[in-house]
Chain A
Amino acid sequence: MTRPFLSVENLVVHFPTPDGIVRATDGLSYTLEPGKTLGIVGESGSGKSVSSSAILGLHRGSSAQVSGRIWLDGVDLLSLSDREMQQRRGKDVAMIFQDPLSALHPYYTIGNQVGEAYRVHNDVSKKAARARTIEMLDRVGIPNPQLRVDDYPHQFSGGMRQRAMIAMALINDPELLIADEPTTALDVTVQAQILDLLQDLQREFNTALIMITHDLGVIAEVADDVLVMYAGRAVEYGSTRQLLTAPAMPYTLGLIQSVPDLLSDVNEPLKPIPGNPPSLLDLPSGCAFAPRCTFKHLVPDDLPDTVMPELEEIAPGHLRRCHLQERDLSKLTPVPIGELA
């Protein structure tokens, strides 16, 4: 059997602190194929960013304890030396960060920074790198790239900076692109443009894309599969349609129901998830979501508070981590899709 293009297996990222070990990611597994998009959803502290930066080896040199396997195209990235990882970072795997202003160096021109990403991995002249940079800036929709290439980041608007970041990430045709909340800092109209652009480029280069976001609207538009994370673990995994139309555990349902959309009834109060996310220093001994769960009473013997549920497959390709019995799943019903449109 051939291994999937990207296969994260039992990934663990722990941060030792004076107060104890922060279990930022605990036993995470997923796969991704070229040309496909995986959406990772979760709240702050759920481990969605930490687990993704582990793919780029961004925890190397920090105190983080990383274990597990990250197979990319047959190679375990965690087993590579720092030097080998450096050769792949930005070439095979690239990342787009949330805030393009703080991710760009204010003292260097856009062209300098985007071009550097190319020159690091390719033995080319400055002139050739510049030509390639202008070509990429043009590809991501920056007007007058031959002029704007010499601008500094502060001369770009937020949307333009994010386009420059995308150009930098894609300049080496990476096989895997990780976008960490790429549109959260942007206005909705600009967000729409950036999402369209990412999808166009993905189609063109057949890139595998990991889209980290907390916006289920964005997920619904771009993702093929969705991974829901809570307190460092995967709690549900499946196709976008499966998750959004038939969520199989209460946290996913809670996320779906807590956001109003442009069609919801304004006289109904919103349905928030009660309580707050747990501290990663002091996780509950049972299901991490149990203290906030409104379906807990359906499970006998206070199982949720004492036993951590396993990730189990309830339908082909649809996994979840929950004690709720299958016959109670019908109680988890989001707004039926049929009533819309």
Chain B
Amino acid sequence: MSAPLLEVKDLTMHFPIRSRGIIPRTVGHIKAVDGVSFTIGAGESLGLVGESGSGKSTTGRLITRLYEPTSGQILFEGHDIAKSSARELKPLRREIQMIFQDPYTSLNPRHTVGEIIGAPLEIHKLVPKEGRLRRVQELLEIVGLNPEHYNRYPHEFSGGQRQRIGIARALTMSPKLLVADEPVSALDVSIQAQIINLLKDLQREMGIAFLFIAHDLAIVRHFCPQVAVMYLGKIVENAPRDELYSNPQHAYTKSLLSAVPDMRQAMVGGRRERIRYVHDVEASAASTAAAIAAKDAAAAKAKTPSKPSA
């Protein structure tokens, strides 16, 4: 068996916390990603779910090497790219592309759609100038937009159409891996399904592998045969779709699934029972509060004049 397309081993990303003052010092670290390992085979898709702050987006940005990881390995087709320099990364940028969450801020408003989609062609000098327009129009057609609209600006398109432009840009270099960070959460519900279907068609036709990051458990279930659940920088569960959704093992996964409001469930007999997962964050917040209360009590005690010794 050949090596998987992407293999991530014990990946960590620690962001330093700087103290205030004239000479800032590092006083600690936020462990945004804390020892994450997973693999994605060619043409496969892995879903990454978790709450905000769980480190799922940071993981996506590490794999596209928008960040340099603190430690760990990112093996892309067997080569470790975790510490590659910008120059070494350039050819890799063709292979790994990203689709962003917000179609309003991820497109340059001053560039035409043709310039946006054609920019990768110019940077990598793969297609001669004359051929670029043809490729741009081809891409517009693939994502379901009018190929004659290459001269328009992003503001002339709706949210769903803009997301299609973002997808076309990601496809320009025919990548092998697409990191999609919440690709539909900013869109209206009726449009979300259009984009999901488009991504699924592209995957089938072009054999692109996906790291699909989202918080919507139903959409991830629809898109990804394999799903990993992240919590506080760690993957707490990574299982095939049917197993994860029908028989979750980790308490956090259970709690996450029990919280999803479900139209059909509500219609047949109220909601399913919610499972609370009292997590470390809350527990630590509670202990901090307790510590503050103890400190206040101590301070109050110190203020009361000590009894005159008799």
User: Which residue numbers of A lie inside 8 Å of B, CB to CB?
Assistant: 43-44, 143-144, 147-148, 158, 187-192, 195-196, 214-221, 241, 244-245, 254-256, 258-264, 266, 269-274, 276-277, 335, 337, 340-341
Enumerate the 7 nearest inter-chain pairs by beta-carbon distance, A residue then B residue, closest first.
A217-B261, A272-B193, A220-B266, A270-B193, A192-B259, A273-B190, A187-B51
Interface presence of B256 (CB below 8 A): yes
Instruction: Choose from B245, B259, B267, B289 the contact partner of A337 (Cβ within 8 Å).
Output: B267
Determine the distance from Cα of A305 to Cα of B292 in the docked complex, in whole angstroms: 66
Interface string of B224-267 (1 = CB under 8 A from A): 00000000000000000100010000000001111111111111
Smallest CB–CB gap between A242 and chain B, Å? 11
Q: Write 17 A-B pairs (CB below 8 A) sorted by A numbering.
A: A144-B293, A147-B289, A148-B289, A189-B277, A191-B261, A214-B188, A219-B263, A258-B189, A259-B263, A260-B218, A262-B257, A272-B194, A272-B197, A273-B191, A273-B193, A337-B264, A337-B268
By a CB distance below 8 angstroms, the chain A residues around B219 are 260
Determine the distance from Cα of A277 to Cα of B197 in the docked complex, in whole angstroms: 19
Are B190 and A262 within 8 A (Cβ)? no
Closest to B216 in A: A188
By a CB distance below 8 angstroms, the chain A residues around B193 are 258-260, 270-273
By a CB distance below 8 angstroms, the chain B residues around A258 are 189-190, 192-193
By a CB distance below 8 angstroms, the chain A residues around B192 are 258-259, 272
Interface string of B174-212 (1 = CB under 8 A from A): 000000000000001111111011001000000000000
Are A263 and B264 within 8 A (Cβ)? yes
Smallest CB–CB gap between B133 and chain A, Å? 25
By a CB distance below 8 angstroms, the chain A residues around B135 are none
Smallest CB–CB gap between A102 and chain B, Å? 16
Determine the distance from Cα of A102 to Cα of B262 in the docked complex, in whole angstroms: 29
By a CB distance below 8 angstroms, the chain A residues around B261 are 191-192, 195, 215, 217-218, 220-221
Interface presence of B61 (CB below 8 A): no
Interface of B is mostly: helix
Determine the distance from Cα of A106 to Cα of B2 in the docked complex, in whole angstroms: 54
Are A266 and B241 within 8 A (Cβ)? yes
Are A187 and B264 within 8 A (Cβ)? no
Interface presence of B286 (CB below 8 A): yes
Determine the distance from Cα of A270 to Cα of B218 in the docked complex, in whole angstroms: 12
Instruction: Choose from A189, A244, A269 the contact partner of B51 (Cβ within 8 Å).
Output: A189
Interface presence of B158 (CB below 8 A): yes
Smallest CB–CB gap between A183 and chain B, Å? 9
By a CB distance below 8 angstroms, the chain B residues around A44 are 159, 188
Instruction: Choose from B188, B200, B267 the contact partner of A43 (Cβ within 8 Å).
Output: B188
Closest to B245 in A: A262
Smallest CB–CB gap between B292 and chain A, Å? 6
Interface presence of B35 (CB below 8 A): no
Determine the distance from Cα of A160 to Cα of B219 in the docked complex, in whole angstroms: 27
Instruction: Choose from A147, A190, A341 the contact partner of B268 (Cβ within 8 Å).
Output: A341
Smallest CB–CB gap between A315 and chain B, Å? 17
Closest to A269 in B: B197
Residues 255-302 of B at the A interface (beta carbon under 8 Å): 255-269, 271, 274, 277, 285-286, 289, 292-293
Interface presence of B65 (CB below 8 A): no
By a CB distance below 8 angstroms, the chain B residues around A219 are 263
Determine the distance from Cα of A273 to Cα of B257 in the docked complex, in whole angstroms: 27
Are B260 and A255 within 8 A (Cβ)? no
- In the complex with contacts A195-B261, A262-B218, A188-B256 CB distance below 8 A: yes
By a CB distance below 8 angstroms, the chain A residues around B221 are 260, 262, 266
Residues 75-117 of B at the A interface (beta carbon under 8 Å): none
By a CB distance below 8 angstroms, the chain A residues around B260 are 188, 217, 262
Determine the distance from Cα of A86 to Cα of B274 in the docked complex, in whole angstroms: 40
By a CB distance below 8 angstroms, the chain B residues around A337 are 264, 267-268
Are B218 and A221 within 8 A (Cβ)? no
Most chain B beta carbons < 10 A, residue from A215, A260, A269: A260
Determine the distance from Cα of A221 to Cα of B259 in the docked complex, in whole angstroms: 12
Are B189 and A43 within 8 A (Cβ)? yes
Are B190 and A254 within 8 A (Cβ)? yes
